[in-house]
Amino acid sequence: MSRLDFFYRLKRLPGFLWVRYNSVWIGSELQKYRIKIDDQTNLAGVLFIKRIAVFLLIVLTSFNLVSICAQPYPVTFYIPLPEGDIRNTLDGINSATGNDITTVISLVTIEGNAVLVYDHWEDGYEADINNPIQASTLVFGDNNPANGDLSTPPAGLSCFPICPAGDAPLSVGLILTFKNTMSAFPTRGNSPLFFDGKDRISSNRSLSLSRAAWSPTPGTVLAGAVEVVDTSAYGLCFVAPVGENTADQFSMFQRTDFYVMAAEDNTLVTIDVNGPTAGGGIMMMTLNQGQGYTVSNVLEGATIKATKPVQAHLITGDVGANYESRWFTLYPLDFADQTYYNPVASASTNDLTSVFLYNPTTNPLNVNYNTLSGSGSFMIPVMTSYRFDMPIGSGARFSGDGNFFAVAVVDSDAGGNLTHDWGLTLFPENYLTSSVVVGWGPGADDISGPAGPDANYSPVWVIAAQPTTIYVDWDGNPTTGALTDPNGKKYDQDFSVSAYQSLRLFDNVNNDNDQTGARIYTVDGTKIAAAWGQDPSVSVAGNPAFDLGTSISPSLVLESFKKAQLVDDDMDGLLDPGESIIYRVIVRNLSQRTVSMVTVEDMLPTDDVTYVVMSTTRYSSNPLFNNISVPDSGSTPFPLDEGGITLMHLEGGQTDTIEYEVSASFTMGIPDVVINNAMVNTGESIFNIDVEVPVDNSFNPCSVDFYTDNTFSSITFNYEPNNTLYLQVNIPYLINGGAVNLVLENTDNGDFETVTLTETPASSGIYQGSLTSSNSSGGGQENGILLAILGHSISATYTNTQYANTCSAMAIMTPPVQIKPLYLSDSLVGQGLDRTIPWDATAAITAELFPGGGPVIIGNTTSDEIEDDDNNFSVSHETMAGDGRLMLVGISYIDNATNSRQVNTVTYGPALQSLSRVGSIVRNADGTRPVTELWSLVDPDVGMGDLAVTWNEAHESKVVGVMTFNNVDQSTPLGNPSSATGDDPDDPSILISSAMDELVFDVVTWSNNWGLSAGPDQTEQWNLQVDPSGGSDDLTGAASTQSGASMVTMSWNEHRDPWAQIAVAIKPVAGNPTESFTQLPTMCQDFELIAGTTVTATLYLNILTGSMPATPSITGVLKANGSLIANLSNASFTGGILTLAGVVASDDTVSAGQAVSLEVTTAQAGVTFEIEYDVLNKPSRIDLPTTSVISIDALALYD
């Protein structure tokens, strides 16, 4: 069975057009697979793509069954960092901090049709945010001006570009800025109402939020900002990537404060400010909804753990500096990943940007980095941070072999790091998307008129993962702008960038010194990371410049796949009747933001497919919804029709799959394609999706066969007169048909009968039945009996007019089949076949049959070297058990005399088994003379033993290696050895003849101690050097093996000094797997064999070794003059008799003068046997079924 996946991938950035695509899918063969996505209002062209994925830019939400948790406002934010806590931290950093705090909350709608609920904390939260009742709660966009109206916004709230009238749902790209200044010391109190920390904001759509704060005294030089995440991105465990003890910080983190805020009542929080560096420092508290807690003296690796989801932040500062502070949003521990991007470059050597990468794991972490300046790597110790200084003008990519966190700090140099100080948290690559929306991005504070930022010192910083074009829409409105992107959307500027380039973006189109609300994106799917914050290269040193910045959260981007998986039984890449399609709708939230809602409806083409009941299942990365069967709520079994299913509240990073199965039924004929139409409703737009799967409409889907009897187990093409005819038709596309009619016709006399076949078993598409034949009655048509005599041909035909499909089969009336034996004989020729019944009392016997032993097997290898002045050397070696054992010993030494030094003896084991010399070779050269010797031992004793070598005289350097092998022929274990010697510049090399399953072994000696390198196809077995300090007996001894072939080269690379080499082929156990018998005398006249009949060979065996199983691996082949008649592959053995059986493949004639032959081949491991034949009590034979008989059609008696 083959499974072919057809799918499309849908992807859209907020506000982009739907595009209609057609694509061509390419598998093992070119298959057409079209995917069409039609926007009901927009059509942007047609594109043909030879790829497995089609990318579209869309806005989608989450999947779930029938409105689970159907909240009107499922997206919720709690504004972090209460003003009283901020004031305390800033005062601890610099005591000149005033008592007032200015708060800015900036909100951008990134989906249209948004409704916003603003719930103040001061008078208690709404009991049900989906049904707000408190007078203080503001609701914008619900068409009810009484509970909130942006046309007359309350004090502290402003809109951009304008505040909409009428309280209609809010459009995409609307910017709402909430700004208040309030007393925060000695306490904030709960009166009056302000837009401030702890407030709750909920919406039916995704939003981009930022939060900033500072004290008017000393101003924005001691300020901070963070990106704000919704509650779906909260977590249970957080770690501080930097702290007061972080190395190379230059007092940037001299004060470090943890901030934590709960989303639910009775949240138990445990804070360990000391982290892994020291004991103690643990405190516990219980927080309620919206309640925060702040703690100081935080060290690197400090942790926050909670029993319910919380959000967490860090504020750091240089105590006493004028003025220095950096703020960071923290992300849960399970948010950690292996790859991050930093978009903020160093401005100069005096205004560095540095990245602190923290390893939270218990293993050292290797990190690779890529910048415009180059690449490299560094190691981060366990639970420690590492400082990386950014190049000037370049962003960076960091990729580790484990998970880590990363934050970046601007103005981090040692000399003066308080002028342009701000920080940001880096996002993992897995959470990046191809779009960002700037939640808050003013260029400076608004101190002097006119209204708005006084200058533009704080750009947006962007980095792309690969070369691409960055598109910038400064007002975030895709219907305005001077330029049009490839998707038909309006924008203001574009920039071609290289990978890792740090791009700074200033809004010089609107000239309002404000980047807030800008949409920055790519159209080719390239991921980007972005931040907003002060640029040291253009900013002034004091007010009104903002010493702050934030990461910019990736935009809501949902990735959706629709797959059609063909369960392709015949592996033709096309849908056939009875085959199945598994459809899957896969939705993945690539961002951190929660997406709200989508309805999926799928209208099955019921003329072509049938839904497999209860096959719809929801799979989800959220364990609450994983592996859940989706029942039907309507009148049909299929849950995706009749309004479909509604899925809600898909959390950041969540992936959901809706899977169901259909089978091809084709009730109205076979089409070219099966078209599956689905409708996706996002609440804003309705999109029709047509998925086409190609159909095999050129096949022969039904088949008819004749069978020998009512078991329907053996197909036949022949019947004897008066037999019952058994028929079966297989109709894969007609399941549950009950019964079908088939026409039987005698093509010689015209008689025909209609036979009703019954589906057996039910729901199988297999239909069976029978009809009686007669050679004397039934001449009338449709009378229930088919008239047919010897030699008549019978056709069986099934026709399906709906499918225009016909299939048929033929049979013939033949004489009764007779069995003619051929006996195995040695009467006229050795191992012959003839018709004479054996009468001898003495059996003829074949040679022993046993399978080949396969390749030579390598056992253990032991080697050693020694530098002494002695005449002996020994090494311990273990020989493993196994058949066909062989030991080879390679010996390398130096002969400094005149060829007088040699090995005397080599023995092995406690029994002192003596080895035989296979060969010896010396390189006669001036000075040193390398010697190589090869010794062998057949059938070495099993177990541990000492391999001892003695020489005829003492000498210094020696290398000895020993190898044992299995499955080696014990009578002829080795081929003829080959040897060679040489000197600079020739490398050691021997060309030796061998064969498949053999193994070639070589040993080489080199009169130097620099080592050798074996050839590319060789496996080095040892490579040892002696006397590394130099001397006259410098020596390298090495050995290798290589699989056998017709010719094998054994070579080494050394390039200088004399060498000597020996190679030999090791031969495997040889087998005799096949014996054959040939007919003599040959056929005297034609001999007919009938297709479907069975040939049987009955062979008497004498088992010599081993035990023959009941179904041995033995086969036979029956031939006529070398042409195949039948494969006798069905083997059985009992009582000393082997039976081989096989079916004649087609009608065949052994012509007069031709001979039948039988080949018997064994692959039965561990068994050796003989075939006994041509003896009275063991008449081995072949039984041949034939119709070559004398037929008497009529017999009369005459008186």
Q: What is the pLDDT of residues 953-989, one digit of tens each?
A: 888 889 999 999 999 999 999 999 999 998 877 889 9
For residue range 754-803, list pLDDT tens digits in order.
Answer: 999 999 999 899 999 999 999 988 888 999 999 999 889 999 999 986 66
Vertex 990: Cα angle to 989 and 991 (nearest 5): 130
Q: 2 falls in which pLDDT band (50, 70, 90)?
A: very low
Sign of the alpha-carbon torsion through 118, 119, 120, 121 = negative
Q: What is the pLDDT, as a whole number, of residue 53? A: 26
Helix, strand, or coil here: 98? Answer: coil
CATH number at 818-850+1072-1186: 2.60.120.260
DSSP state of 572: S
Amino acid at 599: T
Distance CA 495, CA 441 (A): 19
Q: 495 falls in which pLDDT band (50, 70, 90)?
A: very high
Distance CA 117, CA 132 (A): 8
Distance CA 251, CA 615 (A): 62
Average pLDDT of the segment spanning 1047-1055 = 87
**CB count in 10 Å sphere of residue 860:** 13
For residue range 221-247, list pLDDT tens digits in order.
Answer: 899 999 999 998 899 999 999 999 999
Closest CA to 348 of 408, 420, 254: 420
Average pLDDT of the segment spanning 1128-1147 = 93
Distance CA 260, CA 523 (A): 38
The answer, yes or no, to whether residue 4 has pLDDT greater than 60, is: no
Place of tokens 């014990």: 970
The CATH number of domain 703-813, selected from 2.60.40, 2.40.128, 3.30.70, 1.20.1260: 2.60.40
Cβ-based burial of 305 (10 A; exposed 0-12, middle 13-18, buried ≥19):
middle
Q: What is the pLDDT, as a whole number, of residue 1199? A: 59
Cβ-based burial of 71 (10 A; exposed 0-12, middle 13-18, buried ≥19):
middle
Closest CA to 579 of 425, 417, 696, 745: 696
- Residue 550 structure tokens: 């934030």
The answer to whether 838 and 1176 are in contact (CB under 8 A) is: yes
Q: What is the DSSP string of 824-870?
A: EE-SSSTTEEESPPP--SS-EEPPPBB----S-EEEEEEEEEEEEEE
The answer, yes or no, to whether residue 1170 has pLDDT greater than 70, is: yes
Q: What is the pLDDT, as a whole number, of residue 113? A: 87
Q: 577 falls in which pLDDT band (50, 70, 90)?
A: confident
Distance CA 108, CA 115 (A): 12
Please state the φ and ψ torsions of residue 252, each to the nearest 5 degrees: -65, -30
Average pLDDT of the segment spanning 573-580 = 84
Distance CA 491, CA 430 (A): 27
Dihedral of CA atoms 211, 212, 215, 216 in degrees, nearest 10, equals -120
For residue range 1002-1019, list pLDDT tens digits in order.
Answer: 999 988 877 789 999 999
For residue range 199-215, list pLDDT tens digits in order.
Answer: 999 998 888 899 999 99
Q: What is the pLDDT, as a whole number, of residue 594? A: 61
The answer, yes or no, to whether residue 275 has pLDDT greater than 60, is: yes
Q: What is the pLDDT, as a whole number, of residue 18? A: 25
For residue range 299-356, list pLDDT tens digits in order.
Answer: 999 999 999 999 999 999 999 988 899 999 999 998 899 999 999 999 998 899 999 9
Q: How much is the CA Rg of the chain, to the nearest whole Å?
A: 44
Q: What is the pTM of this model?
A: 0.54
Closest CA to 648 of 677, 618, 627, 678: 618
Place of tokens 């092998």: 965
- Residue 524 structure tokens: 């080719």
For residue range 613-658, list pLDDT tens digits in order.
Answer: 999 998 888 888 889 898 887 888 999 888 888 776 667 677 888 8
CA 742 → CA 727, 752, 770, 781, 789, distances in Å? 9, 10, 10, 14, 21
For residue range 105-114, list pLDDT tens digits in order.
Answer: 999 987 788 9
The answer, yes or no, to whether residue 449 has pLDDT greater than 70, is: no
The answer to whether 928 and 897 are in contact (CB under 8 A) is: no
Amino acid at 204: N
Distance CA 755, CA 151 (A): 84
Share of the chain above pLDDT 90, in %: 58
Q: What is the pLDDT, as a whole number, of residue 688? A: 66
Average pLDDT of the segment spanning 835-852 = 88
Closest CA to 221 of 311, 103, 94: 94
The answer, yes or no, to whether residue 195 has pLDDT greater than 70, is: yes
DSSP tally for the chain: helices H, then strands E: 1, 85
Domain ranges of the chain: 2-59+558-694, 60-453+543-554, 703-813, 818-850+1072-1186, 857-1066
Distance CA 169, CA 21 (A): 31
The answer to whether 331 and 235 are in contact (CB under 8 A) is: yes
Amino acid at 500: Y
CATH number at 2-59+558-694: 2.60.40
H or E element in which residue 494 lies: strand 493-497
CA 1126 → CA 638, 717, 1114, 1142, distances in Å? 52, 16, 15, 6
Average pLDDT of the segment spanning 486-512 = 93
Q: What is the pLDDT, as a whole number, of residue 950? A: 96
Dihedral of CA atoms 1174, 1177, 1179, 1180 in degrees, nearest 10, equals -100
CA atoms within 13 A on the CB side of 185: 14
Contacts with 309 (C-beta within 8 Å, 6 or more apart), sequence order: 231, 234, 235, 236, 263, 264
Binning the chain into helix, strand and coil, the percentages to the nearest 5 are 0, 50, 50
Please state the φ and ψ torsions of residue 871, each to the nearest 5 degrees: -110, 15
Vertex 971: Cα angle to 967 and 973 (nearest 5): 55
The answer to whether 503 and 532 are in contact (CB under 8 A) is: no
